[in-house]
Structure 1
Amino acid sequence: MLTIWGRLNSHNVKKVAWFADEIGLPYIRHDVGGKFGMDDAYLAKNPNALIPTIEDGDLILWESNAILRYLAARYAPQMWPADPAGRAQGDKWMDWQFAFADAQRDAFLQLVRTAPDQRNAQVIAQSAEASGKAMLILDRALAKQPWLSGVDFGVADVPMGVYAHTYFTLDMARPDLPHLRGWYDRLCGRPGYAKSVMIPLT
């Protein structure tokens, strides 16, 4: 059985747990990181001292998007196009997610992990503006196709799908992006998304 190491309030852990739910892959998850800490046994698995890490048989693997690609290739090839060009079109959004995470990080930290009386409104506004500009790019892509993976939902929708929930949950200014909102609404209708992603931000 797949083992996932990492606390579920981590965006990167949510990706892996959600995708496992999505493809019906049984797993056990152990809380690691944050208030749960990391012991020497975990650090031997992942010397970066980050989460998540998975164990699947003899395989130990870290880096959330690498884990997603592995799970898709091994257990759900229908979620990842066999055609290299089609696969690359989805893959780019998986890599693009890291830049978006940088844009949204300050708003998340200020609004979720900072006491209200210590928040910096200017920092929040700058992060909200940067996030909105990035999401405009996504909105334009989703005007042409229903999913980042193409015609059907696939693994390429997972990384930004996790960050989209945070984006729409944070109490910050957002531009009106109807195609993005429609994609997010479709994600909200997926049981695995509700289970592992649509949880309180902490």
Structure 2
Amino acid sequence: MLRIIGKASSINVRKVLWACDEIGIAYVRTDDGPEMKQNPNGLVPVIADGDFVLWESNTILRYLAHKWAARALLPEEPRRRAEVERWIDWQATEFNTAWRYAFSAIVRRNPAFHDAAQIEASRREWNRMAGIVETQLEATGGYIAGRAFSLADIPIGLSIHRWIVTPMDKPSLPHVDAYYQRLASRPGFLKHGRNGIP
């Protein structure tokens, strides 16, 4: 059985848990395990699929979708697949980078993130990234990479949840709000994205 190592409170662990639920993969999750030593970054999640150990959450998502042939989540056709993968990568590089400082200051109350100017810059950039999601959702009329739910909606959906629940000034984004409600119809998102809150 697939083993997932990492605390369920981690946004990156929740990506993997939600993906497993969407695909129908049986798993066990532990907070820690010897496989963690194989990740040079010392970060979660790490998975152990038999004797195969893998780290980096978005790579794990792709691996699971490919191994379990979840074509509806990650298409084989190159252009459709690239559209999904583009948003997965964008979440990791652009969206995450934007919210890191503000979230650490406002929600985690980490004393290392106390500079008011940097908090405000991060908040503005975070809102700008959410605006990019808004524009994309308006164009697709459904989900981040098209009309149907895909693997990209897992990292994007978790990031949108984090944006919505963080107490800060933010613009009204009706397509993002509608998307958030669509995601709420998925049991995996309710369980791992919204912590059981409908």
1:86 aligns with 2:86: no
Partner in structure 2 of residue 60 of structure 1: 53
Partner in structure 1 of residue 194 of structure 2: 198
- Structure 2's unaligned 5+ residue stretches are none
CA contact (8 A) 2:5 2:36 kept: no
> Once the 2 structures are TM-superposed, how far is the Cα of residue 158 of structure 1 from its aligned partner?
0.9
Partner in structure 2 of residue 109 of structure 1: 104
- Structure 1's unaligned 5+ residue stretches are 33-38
4+ residue stretches of structure 1 with deviation over 6 A?
none
Could you tell which deviates more after superposition, 181-190 or 83-92? 181-190
CA contact (8 A) 1:6 1:31 kept: yes
TM-score (norm 1): 0.88
Q: Indicate the percent of aligned positions where both proteins have the same amino acid.
A: 41
TM-score (norm 2): 0.89
Partner in structure 1 of residue 135 of structure 2: 140
- SS across alignment from 1:144: helix
Number of residues paired by the alignment?
192
Partner in structure 1 of residue 89 of structure 2: 95
| Inter-partner Cα distance in structure 2 for 1:12 and 1:72 | 16
CA contact (8 A) 1:187 1:193 kept: yes
| Inter-partner Cα distance in structure 2 for 1:104 and 1:198 | 18
Partner in structure 2 of residue 22 of structure 1: 22
> Once the 2 structures are TM-superposed, how far is the Cα of residue 42 of structure 1 from its aligned partner?
3.5
- Structure 1 pair 115/69, CA: closer, same or farther in 2 (3 Å)? closer
Partner in structure 2 of residue 162 of structure 1: 158
- Please report the RMSD computed on the Cα atoms of aligned residues, expressed in angstroms: 2.0
> Once the 2 structures are TM-superposed, how far is the Cα of residue 109 of structure 1 from its aligned partner?
0.8
CA contact (8 A) 2:39 2:46 kept: yes
Partner in structure 2 of residue 183 of structure 1: 179
> Once the 2 structures are TM-superposed, how far is the Cα of residue 177 of structure 1 from its aligned partner?
1.3
**What is the one-letter code of the residue matched to 1:21?**
D
